[in-house]
Structures are given as C-alpha cells and as structure tokens.
Amino acid sequence: MAEDSPKFIIPESFQVSSDDIGAQIGLIWELIKAPLIVPLLKLGVYICLTMSLMLFMERLYMGIVIILVKLFWKKPEKRYKWEPLQDDLESGNSNFPVVLVQIPMFNEREVYKLSIGAASNLSWPADRLVIQVLDDSTDPEIKQMVELECQRWASKGVDITYQIRENRGGYKAGALKEGLKRSYVKHCEYVAIFDADFQPEPDYLRRAIPFLVHNSDIALVQARWRFVNADECLLTRMQEMSLDYHFTVEQEVGSSTHAFFGFNGTAGVWRIAAINGAGGWKDRTTVEDMDLAVRCSLKGWKFLYLGDLQVKSELPSTFKAFRFQQHRWSCGPANLFRKMLMEIVKNKKVKFWKKVYVIYSFFFVRKIIAHMVTFWFYCVVLPLTILVPEVEVPIWGAVYIPSIITILNSVGTPRSIHLLFYWILFENVMSLHRTKATFIGLLEAGRANEWVVTEKLGNKLQKNADASKNKTNVKMFKRPRLKFIDRLNTLELGFAAFLFLCGCYDFVHGKNNYFVYLFLQTITFFITGIGYVGTIIPSS
C-alpha cells in the first residue's frame, strides 16, 4: 500500500483554474503577503526611519554648529597664529620656505595650460618655488604638448619639471608618491597639490603657507573650490548645490570643531613631514586623499579649512563623467571605512570624541547612511508600501523629516533655491548609483578600485564664455553627439518603470497622494535614463 504524501490545503476561496495565470499569481501573492511581505516591509520601514533620524540629527547638529561658527567663532587668522611672510633685504628670500607644487595629469588636452600657467604665476619667490608636472598621459601627442608647455615656462625662469613614469601604478597616489621621491624635493617643506583643471590665484601660497609656518601642529590647509562652469547646464547647477553644502557646512564644521575633515585631493597645501610621518601616499582605495587625511589625523595632526581662499575648478558637464566620478567618491570612502575602522578604534593618540566624530559622523552617517536612506526609503520602500497598504509610513518620516533635511542642505547655494525641488529628485536618482558603489566598497567587490579620470573641457568652456560675452562670430564648441542607444541607462529606465507603476496604482487605489511625487520622480529617472540631463540649461 502506497504511503499518502502530505498535501498543502488551499482554502476554497483561493482555488482558481489552472488556466488563469493572473489569478494564480494573485493567489501566490495573497499567500505570501501576510506571513512574509508585510513583516519584511515593516522591518524595512523601521530601518529607513531610523536612518532618516540619524541623518536628520547629523544635519541639525551641523546646522547649529555652522550658525555658532558664523556668529561667535573667531576667524582662522584669530584662532591660529598668522603673520604674512615679509621680504628681508638682508636675508633675501630665506624667510620664505621652499614650496613644491604638484600637478598630476592624465591626458588633459583641454586644461593642461590652465593649471601650469596658474601655478607658474603664483606670487612666491622664484628660487623658493618648485613646480612638478606629474604626467601619466598615454597619448604621445598630449605628452609632447605638456612637455613643451613646461619648457616654455622654464625658459621664463620658472623652476618647473616635467615628470613621467613607466606605468600608472597607483594612479594619482602613485604619481604623487613618486614625485616626492625625487632628489630635488628633499629641501622642500610644503607641497601644494592642484588637479589639472584647478587654477589658484597668485596670492594663494601667501595666504595659506603662513598658517603652516607659524603653527607646527597643522598638517594641511585646504581651500574651497569655485566652479567656473556652474551655469553651463542643469547638471552642473545640481553639482554646485551638493558641493557648496560640503564646503560651506561639512568642511567648516569639521575644521572648527575637531580640526579634521577629509582632504579634497586638490587645492590644499600639505606639510611634507606630516605626509611622510603618516606613511606617505597609499593606493589601497580610490580616495587616496581621504586615506592620507585620516592617517595624519590619527597621528595627532590638525587640519585647517579656509572658506574665503578659493580656487577655480571645473565640474563634470556630461552625465557619464559625473556617474564615474560619483562611483569613485562613494565607493572609495566605504572601502576605506572597511579598512580603517579598527585602526581608528584602537588609536591612542586621538581623543575619544574625535574618534566618535570620525567613525560615526564623518564615515557612517555621511558616507554610508546618507546614500542608502535616500535610495532605499524614497525609491524602494515608500513606493512598495503603496502596493502593500497594510504597511504605513508615518507622515513625519515620509514628509516632514525629508523636508527639513532638504532645507538644511540648501543653505550652501541660496542662488539656486528655485531649483531645490528638482535637486531633490536628481539626488534621489544619483543615490541609486551611490548606494551601489557604497556596497561595492564595503564588500570590496569587482569595481572597488576602478579609477576613471573625469573628463574636462576647460579651454573650450572658456572660449564659449568669451565668445558669448563679446558676442563675436566665434564658432561655439559643441560636445560630440552620442547615438541615442549609447545614451540609454537601463538601470534608471528600469526604476522609472517601477515608480510609474507604483504611481498609477496609488492614483487609482491610494489615499496619501504619493503619486504626485512618484510621477515627478519617474520623469527624473526617465530623463537621466535617456542621458539628456546634462543638456538642459537652467534658468537663473
């Protein structure tokens, strides 16, 4: 006699014809929704609300501190000893320390003249300034042009050296490290670093170096970036809003309260002894600048940010270039956090509260939570709660907290306040890529060490600006048009379809009117999905 196999009993109300596929899917959904989907979605809501509160408290803390800094804190010149370096008739230029200027490059056809020219025009005694052009270019024509430009300035009496390597090992970190090994660098006390599109004003060193000369505990003086192409298109305006908050608030708060912030990789002056004492440049992540800053901080060095010392630079003006940059900027910090967490915890030279600031505020909230909560909450969990009405998101978590965070984020760029709503939608789209990059960094997956140099258009942008200003008949530069199929970003288009379906469902069955947000977010995902975000010109 055959044994009876166990049978799964389906209630009669759920029984449907085997030919009705839609009904079968509906049946499966009803069977798993209550025991599985609802609890998981509720857990997701709780986690997202917790992350939102963490980000809210962080933004509120920085908002309060920045107000106190602006109202009551002393200026850097008052907090630290600062006196201008003076020429001495008897001792000549010996009062001025020897400064090395490093300009790392990689196939910078459009901007190499700008950075080399700006560095060569720095107002610093010629015999106390050494300029080092670190060219990792792979294009022979560009290498020749850069070398000729260096020779042109050398013929004018500028101490400038054209330096190349046999390979690109370590990328930018490798080039900077190799540059410091040269024999002619041994007598240099400080090193100023400028990426190929950065153009310091002539008085840059005279304003920054005295802080290092008169304060032996300062390792780094960081200047603010000023963007020459911020008004080029909507993409650059969105970037300006994000970066202005970083400089106006995050950098200022870190410098004023803990004398620590992440080095931005350029437009800063380092004490070479601090670099060497911390172990030099390392290429273990794609954020070699942040890596060095954290290691120097753990050695007890202080950092100073000067918000009124600004250096001209260029923002990525194509969506493809911006995506690559954001991958590096999101993946690198997460990977560095993974590698340095225990080193920070075990360090005995740094005070407890500074450790808390670096681990919790600097890394965990800003570099991990900030990316993940934006994507998971507003692009995944919130739309899913529309399909599962048994799960609700409190109004304070869905509307009030995000609104306050957004307002706090907008203080850096008041001139773009009218673009604030679109900036929110755009940041939600970019949080998709930042979250993906963050996971890659934390797990040290395949693209964790991917380095793609950001495309720059410097000379062409300047010609466009000059032609527009003078209203001449100069032919305006146009970016090469990509084929439509090459513009498509399938990930964004996929989320556009998902949010559109959720919006339609909410329009028909919902009660919270989330469809207004979902349809607007769908449009933003769609625009980025077809690759046209960088072509829209914003109104002033």
Q: Which of 159, 244, 283, 289 is catalytic?
A: 289
Q: Which of 27, 45, 2 is nearest to 398 (CA)?
A: 45
Report the amino acid identity of residue 269.
V
**In the chain, what's the furthest Cα-to-Cα distance?**
115
CA dihedral for 180, 183, 186, 188, sign (positive or negative):
negative
Tokens, residue 521 = 């977010």
Report the amino acid identity of residue 498.
F
Cα separation of 268 and 247, whole Å? 13
Tokens, residue 517 = 């947000």
2 and 355 Cβ atoms separated by less than 8 Å:
no
- Report helix angle 420-443 to 401-409, nearest 10: 100
Report the amino acid identity of residue 380.
V
The question of whether 283 is a catalytic residue gets the answer no
**H runs (alpha helix) in 347-419:** 352-356, 370-375, 382-387, 395, 401-409
The question of whether 289 is a catalytic residue gets the answer yes
The residue written with tokens 């009705």 in the block is: 20
Give helix then strand counts, H and E, for the chain: 22, 7
105 and 196 Cβ atoms separated by less than 8 Å:
yes
Q: Which of 487, 496, 374 is nearest to 436 (CA)?
A: 374
Tell me phi and psi for residue 81, to 5 degrees. -70, 130
CB atoms within 10 A of CB 409: 21
Q: Which of 136, 159, 195, 506 is catalytic?
A: 136
> CB under 8 Å to 453, separation ≥6 — which residues?
106, 107
- Report helix angle 420-443 to 515-529, nearest 10: 70
Catalytic residue positions, numbered = 136, 289
